[in-house]
Structure 1
Amino acid sequence: MPVNVVADFPFNDLELNSYTGAFKMTVCPVLENSVRVILSCLSFDAYFQETVNERREEQYRIRRCKVYFYPEDDTIQVVEPRLADTGIPQGTIIRRHRIAKPPPEDHLFYTVDDFNVGNEFTAYGKKFRLVSCDPFTANFLRKLGVRLGEPEPIPDDPYMVHRKAVESMQPLRPYERIDKLRQFLDHDRHVLRFFCFWDDTESLYGDPREMVLHYFLADDTIEIREVIPANSGRDSAPCFLRRQKLPRGVPQIPLPGTITDRTLLNVFGHPQRGGRYILDSLKIGAYKEDIYTDRDLTIGASLNVYGRKFLLCDCDEFTKEYYRVKYGLTDFTPVKPNIPETRIPVVRENPPYNGWGSEEDSLANCKSLIPVAPKADFMKFMTKDKQGLESFILRFYAQLITDIPVDKDRVFVINCFLSDDTFSVYEPPRRNSGFKGGLFLERGRVKKPNAERFGVDPPDYYSPSDLYVGAEVIFNSFKFLVLDADEYAYKYMEEHSAEFPYSNIKKIHDKLRPFVKERCEELNAFGKNQDPDETGTFGFQQLECLIYQLTGPQHALNKQELLTLGRYHADRPLTEIQHGTLLGLVQQALRRHAFEDFGSLLQVCRRADPEKTGEIEREVLRRICKSNRVPVPDDMLDTLMDFSSTQSGTIRYEPFINQLNWRCEHVGAVPTVPCDYTGNLEVDWLPTTKGESPKSLGPSYIPQSEKIGRVRYQSLFDELCGVDNRCS
């Protein structure tokens, strides 16, 4: 359409859009209908009949096609859908152009009035009959006032009917299943594993042999590998039976041409001269390969592996789950083969210690031609090495037992390292004692006394369970009496009472119950005599007297068990510290060490928070404080983080660091609390090998019996006598 013609169409007034500030131009209905006509295309289903001469199978053909009519310029296009193996040109039969009507109206062209369902039109000698149309075409013609005809079926093509009849006699599937891609994709790397047994004792120099059978689900193949024991005299072959399909019996060698994908019957004539062949759809001449499949492999089944009888004894968990899901099997009881016990167990004798290095080092060198270091318990090292505030070091307060008068008053701190069961002994320096103090025994494993020096058996070493209050240990001919331990050692032994039986409160109660049968009145009288004020408690010394009265000297508990019993029933009031008091102590420690680098702390915390949430984990904040050398004790820092932690366990680092700034957020010191206060005076977190002694075992040492103080005897009586037989 020319441009100047469009300008002649009338438009409505311009409307201003209040949101965009642009004018909206509305086209009149005349122009809108013209645009719809330009963009429309009418589609009809049609066919035409074509005559075929001198052919027995057909005399005519019915050819289906699509007729497209374009109303904008009255052009017509005819397209025939392409069919396979037709031998005739298909596709666009008539290109798009205007087509004249047949004579005597050849001066006129086909228009939209000539197209309707049921009409015919002739083009280039072919008569096309319109049988149906699409919904758009039907709607378009109805708007033009045309009454649509009824849709008609397209007649069958005789040649296509004959062609389908010939194809129906051909097999619709291959003779054998060739494509196994689906099985490969579903079961690739899925292998069934069976533990089997082959009894070869009947043959000359034969013996029972253990095998492992692998069944590959991807292609139904089997592989067998042999489990070769040590010193069996057999070569370590990589595979007993290579991966293949395992036949049930011994197969015969097939003749050439027997194994084929398809079998041809009644072949006659030359292929290039119209020869004929028929596929064997009944599979009469098929070669059947009888092989083992997954349904034949069950626990207790016997397999014939080329004349060898294999017994399936057990399978792995994946195989059990496979048979449980696919076949519904539930019984996977292993089968134990009848193996005659002909093997003599080899008893290895270790060579005696030669004096070079430690016993473990010497033994490791004797087992290998190349000197190697002895293997350490790596898992024990990873689980019981220092982790944050957990030091995994038990400290005991001990006294030297000797006849030398000068050494009788010497006291030591025994450090027990749980990561490798090593010990170190440290002597705290004491003024005017005549001894300098310091490290008394380097860290290392300590042998028990009376061990053979150059023996064959490995020596016995002291373990952490050998140290308890009241025990006597001999370290390198020095005899020590364990007097006490720090709070961390007591807590660790009580939490791991399975390793430390003298700290097991359940065993202590069970040991005392036989002595208190029918003696509840005696216990009640003892409690009233020792508690005249009726506070429900008495001292730890009274507890010792009570235990000795009940059990006697020969059955008395040792010192460690008495302390464990007293700690369990101790009357300890809860002690709490206010947040302001703790913050004042922290600022006092920072001011004493002149620490003012709070800006660097804040920058490091922001780098550790890439998402800018303002919160970081506790361990990350503790690591940042330690790396920046914040002079605050670990237990005090941990307690302060408890006050500042959120519900999710994270800490908002900006308020936490700002409250530490003693210049901007000053908190007055509390005179009633000592300046060296820490939240847990009894626990020594850091390991000690050299330098000052721990605070809990230092000059201000207080025995554990005094720390226990008062004991709640009523709870003790309830544990021993029972709540129903409570002494009242």
Structure 2
Amino acid sequence: MESHPVHGLPFLPGSSFTDSTRTAFHRSQTLGYNNGYAVARRPAVGVGGTQLETGQLSQADLDELASKIPVLTYGEPKQPPPADFIPAHVAFDKKVLKFDAYFQEDVPLSTEEHYRIRQVNIYYYLEDDSMSVVEPVVENSGILQGKLIKRQRLSKNDRGDHYHWKDLNRGINITIFAKTFRIVDCDRFTQEFLESQGIELNPPEKMALDPYTELRKQPFRKYVTPSDFDQLKQFLTFDKQVLRFYAIWDDTDSMFGECRTYIIHYYLVDDTVEIREVHERNNGRDPFPLLVSRQRLPKILVENAKNFPQCVLEISDQEVLEWYTAKDFIVGEPLTILGRTFFIYDCDPFTRQFYSEKFGISNLPRIDVSKKEPPPIKQELPPYNGFGLVEDSAQNCFALIPKAPKKDVIKMLMNDNKMLRYLAKLESPIPEDKDRRFIFSYFLATDMISIFEPPVRNSGIIGGKYLGRTKVIKPDSSVENPVYYGPTDFFIGAEIDVFGHRFIILDVDEYVLKYMESNATQYSAEALASIQNHVRKQEALENKQTEEAPGTKELETLIDTIQKQLKDNSCKDNLCEAFQAHDKGASGYVDREMFYKICASFNIPLEDSLIKELIKLCSHEEGRINYYNFLRAFSN
């Protein structure tokens, strides 16, 4: 019994089962008879009438089909009958290609036209490949028109080739009997036929127009009746009356050009104009009296008169549409005469009266054309390059050999060796810069500033000169007009911006206090108040220290003794700066260890009994030393 695989499972052992309900197991017939002959046939169904699955041919069947030749079995096939022959004169009967074209014909013996455009139609007969050229009849043309070239096959070259419809297209030139025709367009049938044969047509062009034909389409010339103007009346009325205008010709834009003055005379008797040049002494020009002799001047010429030989022949009314008249000469307006533009700036009293009576123009202006000196050019200094002072660098722009800027000698002599000193701190977000102290020195003789940073051991920062002597510009001033810091800008609490670094003044020396007292009018109220508060705090601190310190009388006696024995007291200022640099709170006390280090750096004889006694009296219970009392022994 035949087994069938379960639907959806592969054909493998265990995946099939036997149909127990099947009862038909017969096979289909594979032989049949056709016209008394036994013929093998392929069964349509399988065993029991089941449906056969479509399969491929076996290799034997394929070999048999490859070696079988149908001609040997069935014989030679019969050829189909040939198509009916249709001659060309029947197939293309009454089928004609039409092209629109034109050709140019020279007209040598005519004054009205130099060439002529003749429009034609080119016909191509498909039945025998013949062509004809026909010119449409134009009424009253005076030209023999009609069929220019009768129907025939036209030769294309000297080798005997003839024109074919494949040689024709829009936008090309063809030569027929030494005449060149320009094909511009074709009709719809021609376009569809050529496109059906695979020919790509060029875009159509506009038909050229005959200039003489277009000229004839213009309206007829209108004749104007001559005016009845009486020249004799003009002569009797305006005899010896001349309009005088003053004008200039400005030719300064051209090379070696200049502004020259002229007088324009307009003669009312015959509307003629002459132009006279005003000569000056020693102007270097030949004294020609007239620039333009008396004549009528054309204003608008006829277009055809541009090539008229004016330098040889006189200009007549036929070449001029309009002449210059009195109304064209207006004061304050430019006027172009024979290619030269004049500017009328004034006229005489008779001319003003004539314009007021004749044209109603009164109050003609008088324009000042005198040469005015140009305004002085403001000298602009180049941008500051950052080297040296601005005043010193600017001297390079004032002279070829720069000179040193002038100095205030009197100020330098009066303030020689006078210096104001201040203690400042650096305002910076970096933690290492908060404890740094700087000494500002302001030199009154030169208004220069120098900055010195006292060296501090084990601070990691190399002290010494921080800024050499120089003038410092305020941040709110411009480079062109710099404003420098002065002595009035320095007071306790003031902010000083030195080339991008901001400093705050903490303390001043005694000379600054004396200078501010003697020049109190120059300082602001804020600066004076800051100094007064500082002096009060200083006195209160000294009084407090004097009251609290034990053995005040012994200390005063010891200080007097040391001052009498000590001869060299020049190190007092440097000692004070060193102590103040380490006393960040300005309390007047320093640690004992730091005190001895500073004294040792300045070579103070600490082994001396008087110095030891002084240090003992200046010592505090907390292990700190009052350096103010100690420094009093080193001052006068």
- TM-score normalized by the length of structure 1: 0.25
Higher share of residues assigned strand: 2
Q: TM-score, normalised by structure 2?
A: 0.28
